[in-house]
A and B are shown apart, each in its own frame.
Chain A
Amino acid sequence: MTFSPLTIRRLKNFRSNKRGYYSTLIFCVLFFISIFAEFIANDKPIFVFFEQKIHFPVFEKISETFYGGEFETEADYKDPYVRDLINKKGFFIMPPIEYSYDTINYDLRVPSPSPPTLENLLGTDDQGRDVLARLIYGFRISVFFGLTLTILSSVIGILAGGVQGFYGGRIDLFGQRFIEIWSGLPVLYLLIIISSFIEPSFWILLFIMLLFSWMSLEGVVRAEFLRARNFEYVKAAKALGVKNMKLMFKHVLPNAMVATLTLMPFILSGSIATLTSLDFLGFGLPPGSPSLGEMVSQGKANLQAPWLGLSAFITLSLQLSLLVFIGEAVRDAFDPRKVV
């Protein structure tokens, strides 16, 4: 594979920011693990070999009767009876953590929340669910939420800011007034009101947040476009006959990139923090879903069980710091004046 010299330069710049580079490596490992959360923390086996056939219970629902049991419901692989049935005619491999985010451990020796043991490495929460499993799933959801929200709001923000800044005049005037009104709407109240009559899912939350978060980039991009449209090289390109669209994307947008990329890590960490705080308040994702915010609120409710609050705190702070460090390194990589 060959890269253009520009890409090579950017990669070099990126790598020269040591903190950002290692943050990326660590984050990639964590994210990769959490993507395959179902194979790492689950109450179903990764792999079942039964009657000379291979099954993946993670993807298919297999009833207990299939293994020769009594119930027609899905097999409970934690049940010693089911395990015996499978071991008679084959074998199965369980994931390293034998709990999913909603698996309740009924065999606890102490009342939940129970402290860390070999079985539940980070203990269980107040409903007897494994904390580590919930952290892995919660990490995945918040990263997905943050990334999607950041990408979508950047796209909208850059487009809106670009059009306003590049054309200026009346478009800019009306756009600015609209934003002034729009930014006056109280987002949190809106979310609370909406969540009182519909149960907010991942996508509904994302949509509502998106309606408002695009404005944080719009201002910077608009300013950069206003400035850059009078640059001599933009004029020179215009004199060459380059069309407006291409002018905007090829010549003006790169100027706005550094400003955009400077803000992006903060938007990313901001949106993760917002989701967490909504979950903490109970207006976020539906009950039962694995979320870091919910774990923080459990930690607050159960101060006698510090493993809850500490795990959530460490995960969140690690996640947010890593993302900000990566964002800084990306910004360095796109800075043309940065010298290696």
Chain B
Amino acid sequence: MKSLLEVNNLNLTFEFNSQVVNAVKKSSFKIKKGECLAIVGESGSGKSVTALTIMRLIRSNSNLKISGNVIYENEDLLKLDESKLIKIRGKKISMIFQEPMTSLNPLHNIQKQITECFEISEKSNKSKCINLLKEVGIENPEQRLSHYPHQLSGGQRQRVMIAMAIANNPDLLIADEPTTALDVTIQKQILDLLDKLRKRYNMSLLLITHDLGIVKDISDRVCVMKQGEIVEQNNTNKVFNQPNHSYTKKLINSKPREKKFQNKKSEVILSVKNLSVFYKNKNSFLFKKKDDYFQAVKNLSFQIIKGETLGIVGESGSGKSSIAQALIKLVSSEGSVFFKNKNISDLNEEKFRPFRKNIQIIFQDPFASLSPRLTIQDIISEGLEVHYKEKSKKEIIDLTKQIIIDVGLDYSMLSRYPHEFSGGQRQRIAIARALILNPELIILDEPTSALDMTVQSQIVDLLLNLQEKKNLTYIFISHDLKIIKALSDKIMVMKSGNIVEFEEKKKIFSRPKDQYTKRLLNSAYF
């Protein structure tokens, strides 16, 4: 069978900070008609750059050098001029981006955005628009036409993006991390949709992802990329069953280690009764409306035993992060929280401060949670300066050196700034910052979601080691069941502010009671 698109010896270098970066190294691959090819790799492996080069969307600066060729219908896309490219982009080859929040224009309604890619004669073709929306599974498409992007959920936005991409029946659809920003259950729906559309229209799909798990069911062939190089290229089955390259093996086996040890004592460290979190919907100064509140967490009660890990699972908007922030008083809440039998929910900031060193939090995005203007030394030692004022400068420096080795980094890094570190290293720094206060309870709010698969398992490893060594208690919040499964003793499944199911890990995974839990388990790729 003839191939639809051929990429031969694609090589791409650009200059960044006066360093030459070879982003794609002599890569070659082919996509046949109707086939799904997946490119898998970690961040920085050059997979998105490859996709952008095919579309010629890569920003050209003087130091950008591209060699090789991309053959589509006997023409080299890299040599076409802009006027010919326009006839291919969006018509023959179209693309879906990772972030549905930012790839739709917030100022235009859905109809306008979809009709934008129609032929001029069809500009006012409303029924075609509705059909497209139906095709991608949007309910009430007639009403949706006049809606704006902010009125849609993340999954719906991605569906609209797909509708725009398939509007002109393209031969090839490039999907650059189409589900990374979405919840697990929605991720499954979107992938199913892409697969369905591919078969119906007999189009080819180039799926770019960092998640090997989702590739397994949907793609025919897989390219594994590492640092700009395609290290392995084969049928999906072969890649999974007989991986050749050591890096592929590492990716496939990068499942996190599971928690084995258990704590004997059963002393309750944290007990929560009737916790509720409200958010004001509208802030009017003079006229207070009644009942204009959004209840993010609804009357929750639970207990955590020292040395255990409580995993909280739920989709975005289920109130998981609100619980975390309410426990450490970053948002105001109602109900009572007992830390070691002391009620901490009524304390004011001044009286609560001593407890802060016992309860620490680690945030999701290690790029946002470290101040870009402080050195690592300053970031880690900040808590010490608040809680241990009597410590001398030398003691503080010694302690930070100790803790940075504990989290697996080197103390020569202390004088550097966060932007010089990778995501995994940054998350280790964030862990060090929390750990230096010797907390008993650490709340981890999606600490691995922003990280690559192999780095995720390293962080999970680190967390488990630390828990064993220091007898820590974790509240682990995530939407990723794989990680939750590895770390937790008990699991709490949440949906729209309520606890759906709260059970031992084994029971949840072997005999889920609730319908929602079952759906969650089904849509997870292990």
A positions within 8 Å CB-CB of B: 5-6, 170, 173, 231-233, 235-243, 250-251, 254-255, 336-337, 339
Q: Which residues of A contact B363 (CB under 8 A)?
A: 232, 235-236
Q: Does B513 contact A (CB under 8 A)?
A: no
State how many angstroms separate the Cβ of B325 from the closest Cβ of chain A.
Answer: 8
A231 touching B353, Cβ below 8 Å: no
Given contacts A5-B375, A235-B330, A336-B373, contact A241 B387 (CB under 8 A): yes
Q: Which residues of A contact B373 (CB under 8 A)?
A: 254-255, 336
Complex A-B: 23 CB contacts under 8 Å: A5-B375, A170-B285, A173-B285, A232-B363, A233-B369, A233-B371, A235-B325, A235-B361, A235-B363, A237-B371, A237-B382, A239-B328, A239-B330, A240-B356, A240-B383, A240-B386, A241-B353, A241-B354, A241-B386, A250-B374, A254-B373, A336-B373, A339-B17
Q: Which residues of A contact B285 (CB under 8 A)?
A: 170, 173
Query: Chain B 358-387, CB within 8 Å of chain A: the 1/0 string?
Result: 001101110011111111000000110011
Q: Which residues of B contact A241 (CB under 8 A)?
A: 353-354, 356-357, 383, 386-387
Give complex CA distance A6, B371 in Å.
14
Q: Which residues of B contact A235 (CB under 8 A)?
A: 325, 330, 361, 363, 369
State how many angstroms separate the Cβ of A170 from the closest Cβ of chain B.
Answer: 8
A240 touching B368, Cβ below 8 Å: no
Count of A-B residue pairs with CB < 8 Å: 64
Q: Which residues of A contact B330 (CB under 8 A)?
A: 235, 238-239
Given contacts A5-B375, A232-B365, A232-B368, contact A240 B437 (CB under 8 A): yes
Select B419's contact among A251, A254, A337, beta carbons within 8 Å.
A337
State how many angstroms separate the Cβ of A227 from the closest Cβ of chain B.
Answer: 12
Q: Does B433 contact A (CB under 8 A)?
A: yes
A231 touching B360, Cβ below 8 Å: no
Given A235-B363, A239-B330, output 15 extra A-B contacts at Cβ < 8 Å.
A5-B375, A5-B415, A233-B371, A235-B369, A236-B361, A236-B370, A236-B430, A239-B360, A240-B357, A240-B382, A240-B386, A242-B382, A251-B371, A255-B373, A336-B417
Q: Which residue of A lies closest to B324 (CB)?
A: A239
Q: Which residue of B lies closest to A170 (CB)?
A: B285
State how many angstroms separate the Cβ of A240 from the closest Cβ of chain B.
Answer: 4
State how many angstroms separate the Cβ of B67 from the closest Cβ of chain A.
Answer: 27
Give complex CA distance A337, B17 in Å.
11
A236 touching B433, Cβ below 8 Å: yes
Give complex CA distance A235, B365 in Å.
12
State how many angstroms separate the Cβ of B295 from the closest Cβ of chain A.
Answer: 21
Size range of the chain B interface in the assembly: 20 to 34
Give complex CA distance A231, B373 in Å.
13
State how many angstroms separate the Cβ of B136 from the closest Cβ of chain A.
Answer: 34
State how many angstroms separate the Cβ of A4 from the closest Cβ of chain B.
Answer: 8
Of A170, A231, A336, most B-chain CB atoms within 10 Å: A336
Which 3 A-B pairs give the minimum distances between C-beta atoms?
A241-B356, A232-B369, A240-B383
State how many angstroms separate the Cβ of A334 from the closest Cβ of chain B.
Answer: 9
State how many angstroms separate the Cβ of B450 from the closest Cβ of chain A.
Answer: 11
Give complex CA distance A69, B33 in Å.
111
Q: Which residues of A contact B370 (CB under 8 A)?
A: 233, 236
Q: Which residues of B contact A239 (CB under 8 A)?
A: 328, 330, 356, 360-361
Q: Which residue of A lies closest to B363 (CB)?
A: A232
State how many angstroms separate the Cβ of B21 from the closest Cβ of chain A.
Answer: 13
Q: Which residues of B contact A236 (CB under 8 A)?
A: 361, 363, 369-370, 430, 433
Q: Which residue of B lies closest to A174 (CB)?
A: B285
Q: Which residue of A lies closest to B19 (CB)?
A: A339
Q: Which residue of B lies closest to A244 (CB)?
A: B349
Q: Which residues of A contact B357 (CB under 8 A)?
A: 240-241
Give complex CA distance A235, B430 in Å.
12
State how many angstroms separate the Cβ of B373 from the closest Cβ of chain A.
Answer: 4
State how many angstroms separate the Cβ of B397 from the closest Cβ of chain A.
Answer: 14
Q: Which residues of B contact A250 (CB under 8 A)?
A: 374
State how many angstroms separate the Cβ of B296 from the closest Cβ of chain A.
Answer: 16
Q: Which residues of B contact A233 (CB under 8 A)?
A: 368-371
Give complex CA distance A105, B475 in Å.
85
A336 touching B383, Cβ below 8 Å: no
Of A173, A239, A255, A337, most B-chain CB atoms within 10 Å: A239
Give complex CA distance A173, B285 in Å.
9
Q: Which residues of B contact A238 (CB under 8 A)?
A: 330
State how many angstroms separate the Cβ of B441 from the closest Cβ of chain A.
Answer: 12
Give complex CA distance A5, B419 in Å.
15
Q: Which residue of A lies closest to B356 (CB)?
A: A241
Q: Which residue of A lies closest to B354 (CB)?
A: A241
Query: Chain B 326-340, CB within 8 Å of chain A: the 1/0 string?
Result: 001010000000000
Q: Which residues of A contact B387 (CB under 8 A)?
A: 241
Q: Which residues of A contact B328 (CB under 8 A)?
A: 239
Q: Which residues of B contact A5 (CB under 8 A)?
A: 375, 415
Give complex CA distance A238, B368 in Å.
14
A242 touching B386, Cβ below 8 Å: yes
Which residues between 123 and 166 of chain B lie within 8 Å of chain A, taking CB atoms? none
